[in-house]
Amino acid sequence: MARILDFISNSEIKLIDLLEKFGNSSESMDIAVAYVKNSGIQLTEKILSGKKVRILFSFEFLTTDPESIEKLIEVGVECKEYRASGTEEINFHPKLYIFKNSETVRIIVGSSNLTAGGLSTNVESCLAIEGSYNDEIISKTLDYFERLWNSSKAKSISKENLESYKIKKRKYEEKYKEISELIQEFKKERSYSNSVIVCMTKDHDANDIYNRLIGVPDGPNGVTRSLFFRWISKGTRIFIYYNGIGISKIVQAIDDPFRSEEIVEEWRDGFEFKGEKYPNRVKTRLIAKFNKALIFQELSNMNLKRLDTGKPLSSFHLRLSVIPISDVDGDLIEKRLKEINKNV
């Protein structure tokens, strides 16, 4: 019977260590991940070399590094791009690592892409499983990978594919850099003020403290802190999204953000139980408070996009606590909040 070997979060156990252990003792490997980055291949090149390895990945969102695929092909890895399409398959998003010997199969499944972050530094959640080919869960997982690999949507990689993708990715990166520079220029020269969504628990807004002060944690690898200081400044409109509830409050930053580790009474429980002081802060004033919240499903139907990446707003983004959006999208949110609360 298949058994769970371990839980991997990149804290006590790093995924790269298990990949090395399982990979070095396996005869073949199958991997299905959404994204492959150069940083991930630098960590795994030796593990993937010299044996039969198949990797299925995606070029969606122009995230995969083309050089990483070139390197995989160079060391003998068989690579295919999965092209999700239609309404039933929106994105290709698995994170599956399979290690096979003649009698034993080990599987790692969870949240980690083939990137340095996923393998080593991000906070992740993965399970390692071991069993025989006859075990039901092992058999189902192997069949699942084979279906993906042999699907008409799984395309072999050609030199032409890679060159075409390189051009698209380069154009995207140039355009993204240009947009970012324009946004910063507007903010500096014209006091341009974008909007943001800040996502926290309802308890964190005890005594309506958000009406005068907002504080967020640093987040994994300081991502939340970076977003907070980059996208919030004096005048920024801030939509408060309560986790599990939705947006029901709008405030405005009355000064630029600052750092402070002074313990705020309303956040004392977070400090005592999590050791988190929510040091990234900004003083605020209340713009509006609504009885009926704008839930995530309705937000997703509004086709809102992140201002920094241009990607559609997703539930995953809400975990980062700070989401920059355009003032145009902010106006849509505020208008919709007023509509659904008109007769409340």
Max mean pLDDT among 9-13, 174-178, 200-204 falls in 9-13
75 phi, psi to nearest 5 deg:
-90, 10
Give me the pLDDT at residue 56, please. Answer: 98
The answer on pLDDT for 181 being more than 70 is yes
Give me the pLDDT at residue 173, please. Answer: 85
Give me the pLDDT at residue 190, please. Answer: 43
Lowest-confidence region among 48-57, 142-151, 252-261, 266-275: 266-275
Give me the pLDDT at residue 192, please. Answer: 42
More confident residue, 122 or 188: 122
Give me the pLDDT at residue 320, please. Answer: 64
103 phi, psi to nearest 5 deg:
-120, -20
The rounded percent of the chain whose pLDDT value lies above 70 is: 93
Give me the pLDDT at residue 110, please. Answer: 96
Lowest-confidence region among 93-102, 281-290, 307-316: 307-316
State the average pLDDT for the chain. 89
Give me the pLDDT at residue 86, please. Answer: 59
More confident residue, 276 or 132: 132
What distance in Å separates the CA atoms of residue 234 and residue 256, rounded to the nearest whole number?
Answer: 5
What distance in Å separates the CA atoms of residue 213 and residue 206, rounded to the nearest whole number?
Answer: 11
Per-residue confidence band for 191, with pLDDT thresholds at 50, 70 and 90: very low
**Which pTM value belongs to this model?**
0.56
The answer on pLDDT for 270 being more than 90 is no
The answer on pLDDT for 89 being more than 70 is no
The answer on pLDDT for 304 being more than 90 is no
Give me the pLDDT at residue 143, please. Answer: 97
Mean pLDDT within 77-82: 96
More confident residue, 311 or 65: 65
Give me the pLDDT at residue 126, please. Answer: 96
- Is the CB of residue 321 less than 8 Å from the CB of residue 229? no
Beta pairing, strands 195-200 & 237-242: parallel
- Is the CB of residue 74 less than 8 Å from the CB of residue 80? no
Please give the domain boundaries of the chain with CATH numbers for all domains.
3-157 (3.30.870.10), 193-340 (3.10.590.10)
Per-residue confidence band for 288, with pLDDT thresholds at 50, 70 and 90: very high
Amino acid occupying residue 234? K
Lowest-confidence region among 20-29, 74-83, 89-98, 285-294: 89-98
Strand partners, 131: 105
What distance in Å separates the CA atoms of residue 319 and residue 27, rounded to the nearest whole number?
Answer: 38
CA 39, distance to chain mean position in Å, is: 17
SS3 (DSSP) at 5: strand
Mean pLDDT within 45-64: 93
What distance in Å separates the CA atoms of residue 238 and residue 287, rounded to the nearest whole number?
Answer: 9
* Residue range 245-265, pLDDT digits in tens: 999 999 999 999 999 988 888
